[in-house]
Structure 1
């Protein structure tokens, strides 16, 4: 006897203790039949609305998920009409990517999909989606109408790399951040999982209105909209640098160069020889004919912004030209490698750096620099280049965003840390307080899985 019924069920397929749940189960089966075309659709409702009704019910009523799994499996088993059956499979393919069945039902659903996988393409994709749901937690935000339309399951995505480089890829309904990150890392020749974890995709909304790292298991289609762009950058620098891939070299050079020129890596205006060498290496990294002289118009662009007004430009130019004459002949990429090796000796290399305007408890002469890595957070005085404060991330207990102290002023971030016997509190006033809070949380526990 065929499992496929020609009429709606009168009671739930599973034993449901609550009368309301049983009524909802009967109604969900009717909606499923209407979506598949086995019953006429209600007036004013199309397929997409019926599909959303089913997915919404699964999201809101966890106790009905097993029931709906059983209903759709029943409907696609020996269904006599291929077109209607295909709609049922399309729903099952989505269902497995959003909500897992219970531990009790999981083996039966898995076996059903495995048995049909070789002959039924959608059974195979449903099985893959279910495996991903188990691994990544399932996507909670329902899809946009465009995602669920036939042939619209794949969309193009642009990942912005440091220095204006871009990487184009395709994502599907259930693609998560870590998969795209692994793909970007492969382009740089990075295959070690430990090193991949040192990179992050940052979500930027509009013109920096919101900047935060994406959690590895975050579903990309749940966060992408017209105002969002994604940027890849290295967040940790524990793995030794290796210069065996051209894309790796260039992306690292451009990320570090940006931080250096913004003054986030701390070079003293008095360190003329170091400034000159780094300027010479930047000049050599450009594919140009004249490598022996640095034009005055270019020199200023090679110096960190904070020191440009504090150095003798004529003396720096002479030192830079001297460096250029002494440097051995090398390719632009060899110059980039030398630049990275030289900059790696600077105090804040390997940190994500934020400019802090004020700090509680500490009397500093002006804005200070806050460096963040996986181990700790440090505060540096850019004038004396001395470390003023350090907090181990493992000692942090709470992060709290503070409202601006003054009208139109920057927000603050309060940190509670230390032992139970000696609790400590410190706050920082900085424009990127929310970004700092999100990045600290990401570094503390990137295994969390928000959707």
Structure 2
């Protein structure tokens, strides 16, 4: 917070009640600006509202230094920065000519960087509010409002200034679209913390031109795409709420069980935190987003077609990739699930041999008796005749819930330090446990409670063509345990574990790269 939060009590004037506040900017100026009475050349008792308003109104240009000192009492060095910032503000708004070699974007970034400094933040807020209040030129005033709307989306003012800024925006809102937008940005900043990283010039140019909205395509399981619009300060939580609303999900707890995953060049990297600003994450064309259910604790409800289709697409994808651990010897189960898939496609023709092969998990296709499964599937299709596509999809989800790794996010692990297996192991992850399963024997090899994890550490590949790894330190202080895993999605697993642990195991010590 700026020094506005710690000014001496002598700055609080007797003309203002200490028990009640109007939270006008005039009141803030009288309480916290440096020597406001000297500026007004009035006594406290004689100050009129009209005269006090001068403190927070547009200042005309007088020479090259419109103010000699910062508005708020600051240290000498910081005050000099504030004076330079005021001049930059007037150049950006158009009240002064731009310096040679600097354009509008250069000035904008200078102002944003000043506002990023906590001891200057309240000062910069006050300067912009002062210059847009009563400005005689609408074009210049609009530039100032654009800047204020950026300030409110990036950096919150101090707790002292916050109610005054809020009041100012509320009073300006009915006649100012930019004021209403600034108010929305400030509310989002209070809720999510503000967008800390400064944007790229292309995004800022679009913002200043009023072209801040862009189309975002989010990939859903099953090959379905969801299209939505995002703005400069849209966060992941808002998109998730929007998408869940399209699925008929109204329970906030269930909304939190879905996550947006960042995709870089076709590889999932990590889940996005709800408070992350999407324009700070998706910075080039090689990045996209995927949505999937990460937690399965809320009871399922099949009361909305989009909900059913989305869950079915995710469960089907995991099943066909062999991540739910179907059994090669369970012909009846495989045939039943194959029949439900065929009905789920609403296909009126009987399944071909190629269709049947596509209904079997890839990991089992070479192990099963296809003739036996075909005969059993034909029987199932006759029994289920007349069932709708949607009912078949619901039945498929319900049937797969009996498989060992349903409800887990599953990874294929090629090597595990503590296990000797004939082939890859399956790692299942939910909010309580990390389990390792042998897909051949269908037995659990290891289970670690996430609350027992002490440290995660990403391991670089030992060879240029090798795979990355993840080291887990877990257990008690009396009996510490270490395990390392080697898998292609080590980074995704690392970040997903941290995501699931948020709020439930704050003592864990992550060690690894910070990925955008």
Moved more, 104-113 or 63-72: 104-113
Equivalence for 2:335: 276
* C-alpha separation in 2, matches of 1:267 and 1:359: 22
* C-alpha separation in 1, matches of 2:483 and 2:127: 56
Aligned-residue Cα RMSD (Å) equals 1.6
Equivalence for 1:88: 144
Contact 1:215 1:446 in 2 (8 A): no
* C-alpha separation in 1, matches of 2:277 and 2:136: 36
Contact 2:456 2:471 in 1 (8 A): yes
Unaligned runs of 5+ in 2: 1-50, 507-514
Contact 1:294 1:320 in 2 (8 A): no
* C-alpha separation in 2, matches of 1:109 and 1:297: 66
Alignment CA distance shift 1:281-1:368 (3 Å) = same
* C-alpha separation in 1, matches of 2:478 and 2:196: 41
The within-5 A match list for 1:51-130 is 51-59=108-116, 61-130=117-186
1:46-86 CA-to-partner distances (Å, cap 9, x unmatched) read 22221111112222x22111110111111111112121111
Q: How far 1:226 moved relative to its partner?
A: 1.2
Q: How far 1:141 moved relative to its partner?
A: 1.5
Contact 1:25 1:67 in 2 (8 A): yes
Contact 2:146 2:208 in 1 (8 A): no
1:246-271 CA-to-partner distances (Å, cap 9, x unmatched) read 11111111111111011001111100
The within-5 A match list for 1:212-251 is 212-224=270-282, 225-251=284-310
The within-5 A match list for 1:173-188 is 173-188=232-247
Moved more, 75-84 or 140-149: 140-149
**Given the two structures, how large is their TM-score scaled by the length of structure 2?**
0.84
Unaligned runs of 5+ in 1: none
* C-alpha separation in 2, matches of 1:404 and 1:283: 42
Residue 419 of structure 1 pairs with residue 476 of structure 2: yes
Q: 1 or 2 for the larger relative contact order (CA 8 Å, sep ≥6)?
A: 1
Contact 1:146 1:152 in 2 (8 A): no
1:2-51 CA-to-partner distances (Å, cap 9, x unmatched) read 4221131111111112x221111110000000000010111222222211
Equivalence for 2:502: 445
**Given the two structures, how large is their TM-score scaled by the length of structure 1?**
0.96
* C-alpha separation in 1, matches of 2:372 and 2:164: 77
Contact 2:437 2:444 in 1 (8 A): yes
Contact 2:153 2:188 in 1 (8 A): yes
Q: How far 1:95 moved relative to its partner?
A: 0.4
Q: How far 1:407 moved relative to its partner?
A: 4.1
Moved more, 365-374 or 41-50: 41-50
Which of 347, 363, 367 is equivalent to 1:310?
367
Equivalence for 2:199: 143
Equivalence for 1:5: 59
Residue 195 of structure 1 pairs with residue 249 of structure 2: no
* C-alpha separation in 1, matches of 2:499 and 2:247: 23
The within-5 A match list for 1:254-273 is 254-273=313-332
Report the secondary structure of 1:410's partner residue: coil
1:339-368 CA-to-partner distances (Å, cap 9, x unmatched) read 111001100000000001111122222210
1:283-307 CA-to-partner distances (Å, cap 9, x unmatched) read 11112223xx432121100000111
Equivalence for 2:485: 428
